[in-house]
Amino acid sequence: MVMGVVGNCLVLLVKVMCRGQFCCHYWLPFISLTLSDLGCSLLIISGSLLAMLTEGQRSPWCEIVSLLKFAFITSSIGSIAILCVQRLIGMASTGSALFVVMATACLASWMTGLVFGSIPVIYGWISHPSSKRGILSGCLPMNSTRTQAKISLIDDNEADLSAVTPLLVASYMFCYTPFVVAELILLRRLDLSPAPYWLRTLSSVMSYLDCCLNPLIYWSHQNFRVAGLALLWTNRKPPSEPVLTAVTIHEL
């Protein structure tokens, strides 16, 4: 939780304050993805921690955590998909018309997550853990669906921050595979009995890990890393003593 909050806050700070020091043509989906990771680290992981300390989540916090979990997962999928599409067509987010389209798409991914997350709450498909056992899984809906899409990645530009997109996609697929497997097991059982405890725990830990890995993936980009180190280590205070900046030689 600490790594996710600190890392994603630092990423947002670098993107806003140092945007002129590194190339990022597709900054809109990056911002959306970072906000999603920050929200998951700040609310979802803390909700699971609170459930462990209090021996179970209770209503209405349980329903809120379930709704937000769907919103953050769907917005992350949408942000990565939008980033892949922008890299595919090679158009930046600076154009006015394209900016409106991409902003609408990012907003639609958030709204889709909120809509799908509200369905289990309305129909009462939420299970309330009453003990610490299995509490890492949080409050997952008892019925859910998931879709995947294959998007080709071309036109790698090493100078642009979007060069880390393949790593983001690979990290997301790796971290959320246990979650998908647990949901498929749940859907396969007619009595809607949950997946094994170890698989639910692994799925929660891996999905939480993805929020911490993304800032490290951004940090692997050289220009982004240089901008971040300059932001952290640059002394902004004016010098207290005169500093020699130039020497002029006069010939006689």
**In percent, how much of the chain has pLDDT > 90?**
9
Mean pLDDT score across all residues of the chain? 76
Cα gap 112→131, rounded to integer Å: 31
Domain-embedded: residue 245: no
Position 16 in a domain:
no
- Any domain includes 51: yes
The answer to whether residue 30 sits within a structural domain is: yes
**What pLDDT, in 10s, does the model give residues 188-229?**
776 667 778 888 889 888 888 888 898 899 988 888 888 888
Tens of pLDDT, residue by residue over 190-199, are: 666 777 888 8
pLDDT at 182: 84
Higher pLDDT, 132 or 169: 169
49 within a domain of the structure (yes/no): yes
The whole domain housing 119 covers 24-125+156-230
Residue 238 lies in a domain: no
In this structure, what DSSP letter does residue 141 have? Answer: B
Q: How many domains does the chain have?
A: 1
pLDDT of 145 higher than 80: no
Summarised one tens digit per residue, pLDDT across range 84-104 is 888 888 766 555 677 788 888
What's 66's domain CATH number? 1.20.1070.10
Q: Is residue 202 part of a domain?
A: yes
Q: Is residue 50 part of a domain?
A: yes
Q: Compute CA distances 241 → 62, 233, 238, 244, 247, whole Å.
A: 58, 20, 9, 10, 17
